[in-house]
Amino acid sequence: MTAPPQTNEARVVRVALRERGYDIVIGRNLVATLGSRVKALRPGTKCAIVTDDMVAVHHLEAVEASLAAAGIATAHVIVPAGESSKNYAVFQDVCERIIAARIERGDLVVALGGGVIGDLAGFVAACVRRGVDYVQVPTTLLAQVDSSVGGKTGIDSPQGKNLIGAFHQPVLVVADTALLDTLPERQFRAGYAEVVKYGLLGDAALFAWLERNWREVFGGGAAREYAIAACCRAKADIVVRDERETGERALLNLGHTFGHALEAATGFSDRLVHGEAVSLGMVMAFEFSARRGLISADEVARVRAHLAAVGLPVRVTEVPGGAPRLDEVMDLIAQDKKVRRGKLIFILVRGIGRAYVATDVEAGEVRAFLAEQLS
């Protein structure tokens, strides 16, 4: 598997949800085309841009200029950067400010930012005036390969991550890879964990390609765009088959049951950002699978070695401030969105690229495993 040479043509991945289908457009310097794309999609629309205070410094002016050049009136709402903005108070404030800006049901919300902004703005769009359409302009690697696609929106509860939300598909995703040039290295690394996830859950060839080419993905250019498009195609295919996560789409949560619990236990703070938690969670999912005799220790070691090579955490004891308490992590896992009638559901593996939904996991088995991991 090799990446094609760099071209000036944008890659387009279609999310084929019939009348609610939309394009993911991937390439460099696409913000300049945002206005013309929105105008073609929704003639006469107004836009409310939701972003955070860090992204606004780098990209808000260019987005507003692109929309203005197409004759599109805009308002903007800026929230504090970070996971802490995915809460009830910020959600309410953004809703009220969008209503005050006279955004109507025929207008658009533009989510300009990473996964936090995409989740928050998408949920706002799902709720204001009982639903307005929205456009995703993801500015992080994590958002470009994962959270901007598929229509999952929401905010966090003190009892867990993403427990309040709605399925609300965007009408367009514009993934401008040039926006990643301003991304801090830690955030890019964290996003790369979601890239690896797609190889581990269903594409062993992609994982092997990443083992050989991850430096080029980090460096930019054709390899980066190839990896982003590969992930978007994989997610689009799964979303089309299982939009509301009643079955197969749960595979996209590989590493997230453990990871989300660790994120919540560390206070949704800079101690552990989302992609780092996913890295830990994927290693734990592989180790748990090996403990059950599903895979070999060599496969676990291979996954751990790759994630460690790019600088991602692979052991819970690496979390700054120390590992969280066992009881707290177990309580958080019990609140995971995939729990059905109190039954724990995990995404485990029968090999690299062979994830499956496990419905036979007992709480005592998880507790014994976590006791080892957290010690």
pLDDT above 80 (res 290) = yes
Model confidence pLDDT, tens digit, residues 101-112: 999 999 999 999
From 158, 182, 206, give the residue that closes a domain: 182
Question: Phi and psi of 52, rounded to 5°?
Answer: -115, 170
The pLDDT, as a whole number, for residue 336 is 74
Among candidate residues 200, 180, 166, the one with its CA nearest the CA of residue 299: 200
Specify whether 176 is located in the same domain as 193: no
Mean pLDDT of all residues in 65-82: 98
User: Across 175-184, 217-226, 280-289, which has the greatest mean pLDDT?
Assistant: 280-289
- Give the span between the Cα atoms of 350 and 13, in whole angstroms: 29
pLDDT above 80 (res 342) = no
Mean pLDDT of all residues in 164-168: 97
Q: How confident is the model at residue 334 (pLDDT cuts 50, 70, 90)?
A: confident
pLDDT above 70 (res 8) = no
How many independent structural domains does the chain possess? Answer: 2
Q: How confident is the model at residue 7 (pLDDT cuts 50, 70, 90)?
A: low
Catalytic positions, written as ranges: 130, 152, 194, 235, 245, 249, 253, 256, 260, 274
Question: What is the average pLDDT value for the chain, to the nearest integer?
Answer: 94
Helix residue ranges, H only, the chain: 34-41, 53-55, 61-69, 88-100, 115-127, 141-142, 185-202, 204-219, 222-241, 256-265, 274-291, 297-309, 326-334, 363-374
Task: Please indicate, yes or no, if residue 3 is contained in any of the structural domains.
Answer: no
Cα-Cα-Cα-Cα torsion 197, 200, 205, 211, nearest 10 degrees, comes to 70
pLDDT-wise least confident of 88-102, 292-306, 336-350: 336-350
The pLDDT, as a whole number, for residue 220 is 87
Specify whether 319 is located in the same domain as 216: yes
Bigger pLDDT: 374 or 5? 374
- Give me the amino acid identity at 363: A
Task: Please indicate, yes or no, if residue 1 is contained in any of the structural domains.
Answer: no
Task: Please indicate, yes or no, if residue 5 is contained in any of the structural domains.
Answer: no
Question: Phi and psi of 138, rounded to 5°?
Answer: -70, 135
pLDDT above 90 (res 344) = no
The pLDDT, as a whole number, for residue 105 is 95
Q: How confident is the model at residue 53 (pLDDT cuts 50, 70, 90)?
A: very high
Specify whether 233 is located in the same domain as 141: no
Residue range(s) defining the domain that contains residue 216: 185-374
Specify whether 43 is located in the same domain as 174: yes
The pLDDT, as a whole number, for residue 345 is 87
Mean pLDDT of all residues in 164-190: 96
- Give the span between the Cα atoms of 145 and 227, in whole angstroms: 8
Specify whether 152 is located in the same domain as 225: no
Question: Phi and psi of 11, rounded to 5°?
Answer: -85, 140
For the entire predicted model, the pTM comes to: 0.91
The CATH number of residue 49's host domain is 3.40.50.1970
The pLDDT, as a whole number, for residue 341 is 66
Q: How confident is the model at residue 323 (pLDDT cuts 50, 70, 90)?
A: confident
Specify whether 22 is located in the same domain as 137: yes
From 167, 182, 197, give the residue that closes a domain: 182
The pLDDT, as a whole number, for residue 343 is 80
- Give me the amino acid identity at 260: H
Residues in the chain: 375
From 182, 213, 229, give the residue that closes a domain: 182
Pairing of strands 22-27, 11-15: antiparallel
- Give the span between the Cα atoms of 140 and 329, in whole angstroms: 28
Specify whether 216 is located in the same domain as 244: yes
The pLDDT, as a whole number, for residue 1 is 57
Specify whether 202 is located in the same domain as 334: yes
Dihedral of alpha carbons 187, 193, 196, 198, sign: negative
Specify whether 19 is located in the same domain as 134: yes
Model confidence pLDDT, tens digit, residues 210-258: 999 999 999 988 999 999 999 999 999 999 999 998 889 999 999 999 9
pLDDT above 90 (res 305) = yes
Mean pLDDT of all residues in 346-361: 96
pLDDT-wise least confident of 16-20, 174-178, 210-214, 332-336: 332-336
pLDDT above 80 (res 200) = yes
- Give the span between the Cα atoms of 137 and 120, in whole angstroms: 13
Task: Please indicate, yes or no, if residue 130 is contained in any of the structural domains.
Answer: yes
The pLDDT, as a whole number, for residue 124 is 98
Among candidate residues 63, 45, 123, the one with its CA nearest the CA of residue 91: 123
